[in-house]
Copies of this chain bind each other. A is one copy, B any other.
Amino acid sequence: MELHILDHRLKIASVPRDNLHACTHGVFKLAFLAEKTRCKFFSFTQTPEDYTLIVDEEGLKEFPASERLTVADATWAALNVASGGGHSPAAASAVGVTKIAKSVIAPLADHNVSVFMLSTYQTDFILVRERDLPTVVRTLSAEFAIFREIDGEMEAIDNAAVSNGFVKPQNNRRPIIHPLACPLNRFCITSLDPATLPSVATLLMDIMFYSDGSKDTVSTAEDNSQHISFFSFSLIEGYASLVMDVQTLHRFPNNLLFTSSSNEMWKMVRIGGQPLGFGQLLTKFYECGIVAQISEPLASGDVLAYYISTYKFDHALVPEEEIDNAVSLLTFRPELSR
């Protein structure tokens, strides 16, 4: 297996729902007038609490500095696990976070590397802080051939030079420390031809900015029975990905969106009864471990899961017929009830 360190230098930002107008101008340009920017990585995820933006440095230029937009200090790099050969998101394929739980997510958590996940229709991006890249390379070089994208070309990193003398730590136990919620919505992971974006621009803008879903907040375990306002759109290296619930899907014209052939529906496990704080409220140890806390039990039960981190919460999407199984795996872990 290959691990690709992609050429994007990413920023992660949060916009409170009350201030969403502060990012409308930039989001419209990045989503619908992509030919007018040199931004190659743009992701927008709406939750009841905030909007999370992930953009490269070119994309960030579209958002004027403002107290209404909280940009996390660090610059992030995007990693991709590929089965080898292709180097584009299309060549990589979305395998979900469970397939890489043991080989990538757990070892990074063991080495205190924070991980921010973005699963899309095409692939799974593993975001790590740039300053953690040396640790990432040392940690994963035993399992992966590691390539670094430079000017669009993948160059192999000499594993022997970096992995020498690096001791693999013992696996930590990772109890799930955050409350989980399971909204009622059924989700779809879809894509479309970017050339068709103008035909749904008003619909997408309506969904992203003018449909107030804040009343549908699902934030605590007690609220498990509610729907959540959740929508994720990304345009990365020319590939569009949309994650939305079935109600939203029905607002789109027939045959515009493509879904995987099996037409799967997904249900969400939302992690964090209160905002996770993203390095502010929580200790670094716990912050690092969140994706691992969730993905390891799901992997042990062989439950496929896509994973979307936002600034304040984490979201795992599992096939709807597996949701009960997933919740069992996450709440009744044998090693915890021992």
Contact = CB atoms under 8 A, between A and B. Distances in A.
B202 A32 contact: yes
A22 B257 CA distance: 32
Contacts of A72: none
Given A201-B202, A202-B198, A202-B201, A25 B21 contact: yes
Given A198-B202, A202-B198, A210 B21 contact: no
Interface string A190-216: 000000011101110110011000000
A173 interface: no
A203 B28 CA distance: 12
Interface in A74-88: none
A24 interface: yes
B201 A64 contact: no
Contact of A201 (B22, B24, B201, B209): B201
A210 B20 contact: no
Contacts of A20: 25
A25 B92 CA distance: 36
Nearest to A209: B25
Contacts of A197: 202
A146 B25 CA distance: 43
A29 interface: yes
A21 B64 contact: yes
A26 B205 CA distance: 12
A338 interface: no
Contacts of A36: 206, 210
Contact of A24 (B24, B199, B203, B210): B24
Contact of A33 (B29, B32, B198, B206): B206
A267 to B, nearest CB: 30
B201 A33 contact: no
Contacts of A198: 199, 201-203
Nearest to A37: B210
A203 to B, nearest CB: 8
A199 to B, nearest CB: 7
A209 B33 CA distance: 11
A205 B33 contact: yes
A194 to B, nearest CB: 12
A244 B199 CA distance: 23
Interface of A: 20-22, 24-26, 28-29, 32-33, 36, 64, 197-199, 201-203, 205-206, 209-210
